[in-house]
Every structure is written in structure tokens, then in C-alpha cells.
Amino acid sequence: MVASPPARFSVPAVTQPRINEANRKSVGPLSMPPRLLLGPGPSNAHPAVLQALSLRQVGHLDPAFLAMMTEVQELLRYAWQTDNRITIPVSGTGSAAMEATIANVIEPGEVMLVGSMGYFGNRLEDMADRYRADVRTIKKPWGEVFSLEELRSALEEHRPKVMALVHAETSTGACQPLEGVGDLCREYNCLLIADTVTSLGGVPLFVDEWGIDLAYSCSQKGLSCPPGASPFTMSDRAFEKLSQRPGKVPNWYLDMSLVGKYWGAERTYHHTAPINMNYAIREALRLIAEEGLENRWQRHQANAELLWEGLEDLGLVLHVQKQYRLPTLTTVRVPAGVDAKAVTSQLLNDYNIEIGNGLGELGGKVWRIGLMGFNSRPENVILLLAALDRVLAAAGYRK
């Protein structure tokens, strides 16, 4: 309880409405079950990240904070393999960073091509529509990916100003190859947006080499950080388009011509940065630099292969063809006769393990298993396999 000053300063009761006490709930301190988060995200934060998160905060214009921002940007450039000047955490969750890519570069009436092969492709369409783009869509069955030839013919047909692809489709577990796509986009004078929400920090990803102009991600998957600050990067080419737009960006909070000045040399106040989330993301990125990308990617791949082998040993069928499988997120088909949601509930209730149900078209058809960042460890794989074996057996499933 905090103290008030001596009595001579206490003020007379204000003449004001009576305080409504109906919503004054008396609740105890927060207590949460110890979940192992092996779903599509969030995954568990690294303990060192949680520690950084809870440090006492400084101001958003404190010299100590400004110095830390520079470190965050450098470390994020390493994780993304880019030298883009504007490489920052957006002050929101992954969908805000997704929206930032579109809001900044699409002008009303411009053609935007979306490669949709899952739920998050659909979200890109929805967002682009809100920014009054002339949205064109190419689609793939959920779990498949586009070939370079398919992308070329779509670019030829639609001649978009911007094309958006999902590198790592969190709803299907498929990894869209991006080698060569940037070159193709340059040939057609079009910007390339990539959704790397489920790839950053876990899957080989080369923003500059692959010619990606705008990318976004989240903190709570491959980075092992809680959700709330979300990586965003933008090439000079993309910034050039932003600089030349005739009007203001139709979104104040995500306007990179303003946000970029706070994160740039000017350090001009735009909005109060989420201080502690930035502490956390710095620690998460520091751990990536310490481990090294090569080691990290190999670890994710190795643990995913351990999982895949184990799931097949249980007689289950993986939804995505091996060469396009994400090591961070595996979709496995629900066997005939098994109630998908009953299995995820039992894993949660009996063993405190969260895996994801299918989303959208794959609802009820697959489970989604994430092995991301700190959670990509063999002990988590064998625990999940053991738990799944028991829960499936209890549900009457026989290999």
C-alpha cells in the first residue's frame, strides 16, 4: 500500500457521482498453469527473456533506452539477414506488423497480388482490401506451395505493384521457397512482401539475398519472447515508394515515415515504445546471436525430424510433403474416428501440453505442433510423443 502525504494536504471529498462498486472484483494474485506450449504459438519464452521483460523500466527517450534500440536493430538485422535501415520491432503483435507492410506501400487502387495457400494468405487479402488495393489472388490447396513458374505467370497476368507471399504458413505448416522470387519481382517492377511469422529464428531466411522488400514476423515463435513487439523490415526500394506517396499513410500508428524517425537518427517521439517488450526482444535476439543462425536452424530441423519420425511411428500421416515442411510447425492429420478437439483438450488438461487445432479449411483435419525457439528441444519432442500416444490410445485409436 502506498502512502499519502501528511493530513494537512488531504483534500475534501469532491462533489462527484457515487462510485459504482459493482465491478470492483476482489481477485487474488495471478496464478497460471505451467503449460508447455507446442502449438502454433505463442511458444514458451526463454527464461532469460522473461527476466529481461521484468526489469524496471526507463523512459522511451532515455539515452540508455535509445542505445538499447540500436542494439535491437542490429541484432534483428542479423536474425533476418538484412542491412535494411528500417528494421525494427513494431509496437504490437504480428498482425500489426503484417498490416504495417501493407499500409505503408499500398496506395488506393493499386494492384496487389496475394499468393494464398492458407489462413494467413486470406488475412493479407482482407487487409489489402481495407487499404483499398485492387486485390488479385492466386490460390493453392492448403499445404502446398507455389512454383516460380506459377508466380511468374501471375505477375505477367496481374502486373501488381506489390506481391505478398507467406514464407511460413502457420495454418498449414508449409514453407514457400523464396529463392529467385525477389529477382522475379524486380523484373516486373513490383515489391515483395514476405510473411515470416513462423520462420524468423527457426528456418533459413535471407531477406537481402532473396530480394524481400518488406517482411514481418512476431516475437512469440522462433524468437522465444512473449507476444507484443513484432519485427518489421523494409528495403530502401520500399521506403522510396512510401516517400513518394501523395498523401499520408492511412494508419497513424503504423506510419513508417514517422515510426522510422523514432528508430532512426532523429529519435523523434512518435508513440511511447513498449519498453519492457523491447527489453525482452533484445534478450531474445541476443540469444540468437549467441547461438548463431546456422546452429539454430540445424537444431530446429533436427528436432523437427525427430518429431516427424515419431509421429509416423505412431502411424500418423504428416500433411505436408517433406521437402516443403516447416521445421517450426508441423501439421499432422487427425486419424479417422478421432475427435481432434478432445485430443488437444486432454493433452492440455492431463499433461499441460498445448498443441493447436486446425484453422480454417483444416479445422478438425489436422493438429498443429510447434517446435520453436527455446521449445525446439528433444525432451519436448519425446514428451509430446509419449503424451500423444497415451491420449490417442485412450481415444480408441490403434496404429
- Return the residues of window 250-269 that contact a copy of itself according to CB under 8 A: 250-253, 269
Phi and psi at residue 194, to the nearest 5°:
-125, 130
Q: Which residues pair with 136 in a beta bridge?
A: 113
Binding pattern for the stretch 9-48 against a copy of itself, x by CB under 8 A and - elsewhere: xxx-xx-xx-xxxxxxxxx-xx-xxxx-x-x-xx-xx--x
374 is a site residue for a copy of itself (CB under 8 A): yes
> What count of residues does the chain have?
399
Nearest-approach distance from CB 30 to a copy of itself, in angstroms? 5
- Contact letters for a copy of itself, residues 167-206 (x by CB under 8 A): -------------------------------------x-x
- What is the DSSP secondary structure assignment for residue 14, as one 8-state letter? P
C-alpha cell at 37: 506450449
Main-chain dihedrals φ then ψ at residue 53, nearest 5 degrees: -55, -35
Which residues, numbered 109-168, are part of the site for a copy of itself (CB under 8 A)?
Answer: 123, 126-127, 129-132
Which of 101/165 has CB closer to a copy of itself? 101
Q: How far is the CB of 161 from a copy of itself (least distance, A)?
A: 19
Exactly one of 364, 378, 386, 399 binds a copy of itself (CB under 8 A); that residue is 378
- 333 is a contact residue toward a copy of itself (CB under 8 A): no
Contact 185, 332 (CB under 8 A): no
Distance CA 303, CA 312 (A): 14
d(CA 303, CA 325): 13
Q: Can you read off the three cell numbers belonging to residue 312?
A: 509416423
State yes or no: cis peptide before 177, omega within 30 of 0. Answer: no
Taking CB under 8 A as the criterion, the residue among 58, 338, 383, 385 binding a copy of itself is 58
Does residue number 4 form part of the binding site for a copy of itself (CB under 8 A)? yes
Residues 91-110 interacting with a copy of itself (rule: CB under 8 A): 91-96, 99
| Closer of 248 and 399 to a copy of itself (Cβ) | 248
Report how far apart, in Å, the C-alpha atoms of 29 and of each of 45, 186, 235 are.
Answer: 21, 55, 45
Q: What is the DSSP string of 246-258?
A: SS--S-STT-HHH
- Comparing CB distances to a copy of itself, the nearer of 239 and 262 is 262
Report, in Å, the least distance between residue 396 CB and a copy of itself: 25
- Check residue 1 for interaction with a copy of itself (CB under 8 A): yes
Among 66, 111, 148, 302, binds a copy of itself (CB under 8 A): 302
CB 202 within 8 A of CB 297: yes
List beta partners, residue 238.
none
Site for a copy of itself contains 53 (CB under 8 A): yes
Query: Is residue 383 involved in binding a copy of itself (CB under 8 A)?
Result: no
